[in-house]
Structure 1
Amino acid sequence: MSVAEPRRIVLFRHAKADWPPVSDHERPLAERGRMDAAVAGRKLADTGIAFDLALCSTAVRTRETWKLAVQEFPQRPKTVYEERIYEASPGELIALLNETPDDAQNVLLVGHNPGVQALADILAGAAEGDARERMSRRGYPAAAFAVLSFAGSWKSLEPGVATLLDYWAPTE
C-alpha cells in the first residue's frame, strides 16, 4: 500500500447517551442512541469505505455505539479500544493518529465532543461540495460523522492537510 494513495479518516461521535447516576466514563447509550448508532452504521457502510482499523474510546457509550454500528458493516475492521481518546484534545487525537501504522489506509475513530468536532474542523483545510456548511450548520450531534481524506503517511497528519469529503448527522 502506497502512502501516495489518499487515506481516509472518519471521525464518529458516539450516539446519544443516557444520564444514570454513574461516572461519565460509564454512561450507557439511551434508547435513542441505540437506534441512531445502528442507522449511523448503515450510513457508514453506505460510504463504501473498507476500514482497516477502528480506534474506539474505552467509555461505555462509545463501545456500545461501535458494537451496534459495526454490525451493519460488510466486514469488521480490526478494533483497538484506546483509553487516550476519552476526553482527548484535538492535538492528542492527532498524536494518536500519527501512531497509526502506514499499512492502514482507512481509519475510523469513535470518540467524544468537543474533541471529535474540533479535530474535524482543524484537519479540514478544504471541503467538497457543501460538507463544511452542513457540518457548521448542524454542529456535531451525537452519532454524527465526518469523512476526511489526506495524502501522505499517518505521521504527516497535521492541521489543515485533509479535505472534508462528507458529513452526516441523524435527524433530530
Structure 2
Amino acid sequence: MSVAEPRRIVLFRHAKADWPQVPDHERPLAERGRMDAAEAGRRLADSGLAIDLALCSTAVRTRETWKLAVQEFPHRPKTVYEERIYEASPGELIAVLNETPDEVREVLLIGHNPGVQGLADILAGATAGEVRERMAGRGFPAAAFAVLSFTGDWKAVEPGVATLQDYWAPAD
C-alpha cells in the first residue's frame, strides 16, 4: 500500500455501561448499551468502511460493545485487545495508533472518554463544517463514533493530521 492512499481511523466510544458493584474495568453494558452497540455496528457496516484492524480496550464494556457491533459487519476484522487503551489519554492513544502495521488501511479503536473524544478533537485539528459542528454540539456520548482520514503512514499520526469525515451518536 502506498502511503499516499488515504487511511481512516474510526474512534468508537463504548456503549452505555451499567453500574453494578464491580471494579470499573469489569462494568458490563446496560440494556440500552446493548441496543446502541448493535445500532452503531449497523451504521458502521452501512458506511462502506473496510476495517482491517480493531483495537479494543480490555474493559468488559468495550469488549461487549465490539462483540455486538461487529456482528453487523460483512466481514470480521482482526481484533487486538489492548490494555493500554483503558483510561488512556489522547497522547497514549496516538502512541498505540503509531504502532499500527503499514499494510493496515483502516483502524477502528474502541475506547473510553475522555480519551476518545479528546483524540477526535486533536486529530481533526482545523476540520470545519457540519460534521465538526455536530460532534462539538453532541460531545462524544456512549456508542458514538467519529471517522477521520489522513494521508501518510501510521507513525505520522499526530495532532491536526486528520480530517473529520463522519460522526454518529445514538440520538442522531
TM-score range, shorter chain: over 0.9
Give the TM-score of the pair, scaled to structure 1: 0.98
| Identical counterparts, % of pairs | 83
Query: For the aligned residues, what is the CA RMSD?
Result: 1.0
Count residues in correspondence.
172
Structure 1 unaligned regions, length at least 5: none
TM-aligned CA deviation for residue 126 of structure 1: 3.7
Kindly provide the CA deviation profile for residues 5-47 of structure 1, in whole angstroms up to 9, marking residues without a partner as x.
0000000000000000000000000000000000000000011
TM-aligned CA deviation for residue 127 of structure 1: 2.9
| Map 1:66-145 → 2, pairs under 5 A | 66-127=66-127, 129-145=129-145
- Equivalent position amino acid for 1:19 in 2: W
Q: Provide the C-alpha distance between the structure 2 equivalents of 1:132 and 1:49, rounded to a whole number of angstroms.
A: 19
- Pick closer, same or farther for the CA change 1:95–1:170 going to 2, 3 Å: same
Give the TM-score of the pair, scaled to structure 2: 0.98
Structure 2 unaligned regions, length at least 5: none
- Equivalent position amino acid for 2:31 in 1: E
Kindly provide the CA deviation profile for residues 38-76 of structure 1, in whole angstroms up to 9, marking residues without a partner as x.
000000001101000000000000000000000000010
Of 36-45 and 124-133, deviating more is 124-133
Indicate if the aligned counterparts of 1:57 and 1:86 stay in contact, CA closer than 8 A. Answer: yes
Kindly provide the CA deviation profile for residues 110-137 of structure 1, in whole angstroms up to 9, marking residues without a partner as x.
0000000000000002436411100010
TM-aligned CA deviation for residue 3 of structure 1: 1.0
